[in-house]
A and B are shown apart, each in its own frame.
Chain A
């Protein structure tokens, strides 16, 4: 069972995002007006807490710390500053509640990913 009930659909107003914890996993539910998205509560840039730094305007999520942006309709990166994708959990609305498909907590590879590997520097 990986569909997990996060919250009542009515508990996150339009253009709002809210942090929840389900089975010990922190998750943000965002209401962008045309639907909901669920994602981990930190910015994939520098681990800013999106519950505080996140802002939804015009279907776009902005981390106000360094202006990284993601389009909540397409889940794609947006704006001129963004360098990494956001991880989105699948969501569905059922019986007035928001459910997210979370096998396990998604953790960004801040430590594992090594953008200084040789590959990136000598294939030019």
Chain B
């Protein structure tokens, strides 16, 4: 089937399959449709179906709350068509001809390496049917047979072109995907994904210091950035400051990996774990002396450590919404970081 897309910058035609969203169809064919979360929560990928048969898989998605559905408005990330269609998007759109960024596509992988990191945090990998390329900091949306909807997870690893992607999940009450992963998932289970997506990415050619503030499983994309940056020795010439917030020392994870990044990167990479619900009692991790410790919320730890030494960094922020908000305030007010240098996924 065909979608005729009307945008403020012109007309585009692209193919769409019955089993993919209009958003996925456009993005994989190089059309820069607007999106942020790609899973129904943010409302960025607003469009209007002018002609054709279309349905929204999740009509009550939080991002759909302000849509004029009686006029055909939809979220492209939830919209499937069953005929040729004409769709409008109220923004500028272009066709990415030959740009170097990885193009998203549908893929499949087999579940592997499921490993519990703490009481409520799980690591898992996907061995991919076909290798993919992604930028450090990107995410994919995932589907599991029998569970409705898609979830977005950031890759933890970075490897240029790779046949493996790693992820981390924090269990939330009532989360069906989490429940499945923590209780029923078995190695070899097949998972479908779409990606890579997201623009909170690291590009070494920008030649910038980086400042990362993450809470809980928000560390995922930061791990990928550190993986890439460490691999190419980025911290030989640039500073990296990483603040990772968890509740208690027992809730920390990825300490082996973080410690390894610190060991390979030297003085220019400083990694601090902030404990919000426990007194750290010391300034270094008892088992990982390269990891600094602080007590309090992660943005407060960042404020203490960064006072007077911001320089001109790119800021990367990921985590629970209140933490993301506090970190962005810190970067703007204390750090004087221009908003164009703050990178985060606007999932809310």
Residues of A within 8 A of B (CB): 15, 46-47, 53, 55, 57-58, 62, 64-67, 69, 79-81, 110-111, 115-116, 120-121, 124
Kindly state the separation between the CA atoms of A121 and B8 in the bound complex, as whole angstroms: 6
A/B pair count, beta carbons within 8 Å: 49
- B203 sits at the interface (CB 8 A): no
Mind listing 28 A-B residue pairs with CB under 8 Å?
Answer: A15-B333, A46-B43, A46-B66, A53-B325, A55-B329, A55-B332, A57-B332, A57-B336, A62-B332, A64-B325, A64-B329, A66-B346, A67-B342, A79-B338, A79-B339, A79-B340, A80-B340, A81-B339, A115-B90, A116-B71, A116-B88, A116-B90, A120-B8, A120-B90, A121-B7, A121-B88, A124-B9, A124-B10
Kindly state the separation between the CA atoms of A47 and B66 in the bound complex, as whole angstroms: 10
Name B337's closest neighbour in chain A (CB-CB).
A57
What mask results when residues 2 to 13 of chain B are scored 1 for a CB within 8 Å of chain A, else 0? 000011111000
Kindly state the separation between the CA atoms of A25 and B48 in the bound complex, as whole angstroms: 34
- B229 sits at the interface (CB 8 A): no
Tell me whether A124 and B336 are in contact in the complex, defined as CB-CB below 8 angstroms, given that A64-B328, A67-B342, A116-B48 are known contacts: no
Kindly state the separation between the CA atoms of A116 and B73 in the bound complex, as whole angstroms: 9
Interface of A is mostly: loop
Q: Which residues of A contact B342 (CB under 8 A)?
A: 67
Interface of B is mostly: mixed
- B187 sits at the interface (CB 8 A): no
Q: Which residues of A contact B73 (CB under 8 A)?
A: 116
Kindly state the separation between the CA atoms of A116 and B333 in the bound complex, as whole angstroms: 36
Tell me whether A69 and B339 are in contact in the complex, defined as CB-CB below 8 angstroms, given that A57-B332, A64-B328 are known contacts: yes
Whether the pair B9, A62 counts as a contact (CB closer than 8 A) is: no
- B348 sits at the interface (CB 8 A): yes
Residues of B within 8 A of A (CB): 6-10, 43, 48, 66, 68, 71, 73, 88, 90, 325, 328-329, 332-333, 336, 338-340, 342, 346, 348
Q: Which residues of A contact B66 (CB under 8 A)?
A: 46-47, 110
Name B333's closest neighbour in chain A (CB-CB).
A57
Kindly state the separation between the CA atoms of A124 and B10 in the bound complex, as whole angstroms: 7
Nearest-Cβ distance from residue B200 to partner chain A, whole angstroms: 13
Q: Which residues of A contact B338 (CB under 8 A)?
A: 79
Nearest-Cβ distance from residue A82 to partner chain B, whole angstroms: 9
Tell me whether A67 and B339 are in contact in the complex, defined as CB-CB below 8 angstroms, given that A53-B325, A55-B333 are known contacts: yes
Name A124's closest neighbour in chain B (CB-CB).
B10
Kindly state the separation between the CA atoms of A111 and B8 in the bound complex, as whole angstroms: 20
Whether the pair A62, B339 counts as a contact (CB closer than 8 A) is: yes
Q: Which residues of A contact B9 (CB under 8 A)?
A: 124
Kindly state the separation between the CA atoms of A53 and B346 in the bound complex, as whole angstroms: 14
Name A68's closest neighbour in chain B (CB-CB).
B339
Kindly state the separation between the CA atoms of A79 and B328 in the bound complex, as whole angstroms: 15
Name A122's closest neighbour in chain B (CB-CB).
B6
Nearest-Cβ distance from residue A6 to partner chain B, whole angstroms: 24
Nearest-Cβ distance from residue A91 to partner chain B, whole angstroms: 23
Q: Which residues of A contact B7 (CB under 8 A)?
A: 121
Whether the pair B332, A64 counts as a contact (CB closer than 8 A) is: yes
Nearest-Cβ distance from residue B277 to partner chain A, whole angstroms: 24
